[in-house]
């Protein structure tokens, strides 16, 4: 299994049980100096009220979507690799470094364990209507689940190389997944297409369908002297566009809700149009790993390798940073 960067908190922070939005959460342990932690992932709630963040401190944190104030923390048993909000409910799917993948209902505080993922996963996501959930794990398996956590299907790919990302088609039950290659699957277990995105050996860390469903974007790691690539593809494997510009690996990419702009997280926040032209660049003092848009497509949130959570305009102008 690939070894992942690990930054542990020096102590657990206990938070007062607060209802969302009443006031910011406060630590019950005074005068504790907190260690910055790598934040892998961020997801905006469908109604824009909340932002979920996860990383190597094994804490799922919920922030106010406007003020960036911390309102609730859920301690988990493993480092968090991806969080994904349900399309229309107050429910979050959580992919972790070990076997503790779960579904958390924020209204009832009920946690459903996804059993059968042995070594953790990086990819997790709901289908377009929220009835199905898919995970792409570190054994090279894609699993399809019902919203109640019942396992429906396991899709093998012939080797145990890790998957890094997955994303459902916006209108149908087709999934694009990435690892050492890109694969398109359906929920019956059929592999519809396998794409080798370049001759160099480098992993594809993020894939995202365009909201139209007509094509998808992929973003890779690169390494040494190999530059990271951002690419657009048709579902049949036709390469539409290759973009250069990042000086580090692309960790995450997200289309805005209208499909006019794509935000990418790497050494900077870059914003591209749907033709592949770079339109805005926002410099960052540390590497960005998580990125997401709000539903109005006028705000972007990012997380970084040094634990920073920042809010930006759609033009890449800095607005504010979360403080705890």
Q: Give one DSSP letter per residue of 184-237, joined into a string.
A: EEETTS-EEEEE---SS---EEEEEE-TTSS-EEEEE--BTTBPP-EEEE-TTS
Burial class (CB in 10 A: 0-12, 13-18, 19+), 93: buried
Nearest one of 93, 59, 69, 56 to 18, comparing CA atoms:
69
pLDDT at 35: 65
Tens of pLDDT along 241-260?
999 999 999 999 999 999 99
Q: How far is CA 314 from CA 18, 231, 249, in A?
A: 31, 21, 22
- Taking a C-beta distance cutoff of 8 angstroms, is the pair 135, 114 a contact? yes
- Taking a C-beta distance cutoff of 8 angstroms, is the pair 312, 299 a contact? yes
Give the domains, in start order, of the chain with CATH numbers.
Answer: 39-321 (2.130.10.10)
For the four alpha carbons of 15, 16, 19 and 23, in that order, the dihedral sign comes to: negative
Nearest one of 215, 320, 220 to 275, comparing CA atoms:
215
Query: At a CB cut-off of 8 Å and minimum separation 6, what does 80 contact?
Result: 40, 41, 54, 55, 56, 58, 59, 60, 94, 95, 96, 97
This prediction's pTM: 0.88
What are 200's two structure tokens?
Answer: 């160099």
pLDDT at 27: 34
Distance between CA atoms of 55 and 78, rounded to whole angstroms? 9
Give the full edge-to-edge strand order of the sheet including 309-313. Answer: 288-293, 299-304, 309-313, 318-321
In the chain, which residues have pLDDT < 70?
1-35, 324
What are 141's two structure tokens?
Answer: 């398996």
pLDDT at 19: 33
Distance between CA atoms of 267 and 245, rounded to whole angstroms? 10
Tens of pLDDT along 70-125?
999 999 999 999 999 999 999 999 999 999 999 999 999 999 999 999 999 999 99
pLDDT at 234: 97
- Tokens 């396992």 correspond to 151
């Amino acid at each position: 299994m690939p070894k992942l960067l690990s930054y542990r908190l020096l102590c657990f922070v206990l938070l007062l049980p607060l209802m969302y939005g009443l006031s910011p959460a406060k630590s019950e342990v005074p005068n504790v100096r907190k260690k910055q932690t790598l934040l892998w992932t961020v997801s905006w709630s469908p109604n824009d009220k909340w932002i979920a963040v996860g990383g190597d401190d094994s804490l799922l944190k919920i922030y106010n979507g406007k003020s960036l104030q911390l309102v609730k923390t859920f301690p988990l048993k493993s480092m968090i690799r991806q969080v994904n909000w349900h399309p229309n409910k107050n429910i979050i799917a959580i992919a972790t470094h070990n076997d503790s993948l779960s579904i958390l209902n924020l209204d009832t505080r009920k946690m459903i364990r996804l059993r059968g993922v042995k070594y953790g996963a990086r990819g997790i996501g709901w289908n377009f209507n929220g009835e199905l959930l898919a995970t792409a794990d570190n054994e090279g398996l894609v699993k399809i689940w019902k919203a109640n956590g019942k396992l429906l299907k396991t899709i093998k790919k012939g080797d145990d190389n890790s998957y890094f990302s997955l994303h459902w088609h916006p209108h149908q039950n087709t999934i694009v997944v990435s690892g050492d290659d890109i694969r398109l699957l359906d929920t019956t277990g059929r592999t519809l297409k396998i794409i080798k995105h370049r001759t160099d050996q480098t992993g594809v860390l993020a894939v995202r369908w365009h909201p139209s469903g007509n094509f998808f974007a992929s973003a890779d790691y690169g390494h040494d002297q190999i530059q990271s690539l951002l690419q657009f593809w048709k579902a049949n494997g036709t390469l539409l566009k290759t973009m250069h510009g990042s000086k580090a690996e692309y960790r995450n990419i997200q289309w805005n809700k209208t499909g006019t702009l794509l935000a990418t997280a790497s050494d900077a926040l870059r914003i591209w149009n749907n033709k592949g032209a770079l339109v805005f660049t926002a410099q960052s003092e540390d590497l960005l790993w998580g990125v997401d848009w709000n539903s109005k497509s006028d705000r972007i949130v990012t997380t970084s390798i040094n634990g920073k959570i920042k809010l930006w305009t759609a033009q890449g102008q800095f607005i504010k940073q979360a403080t705890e």
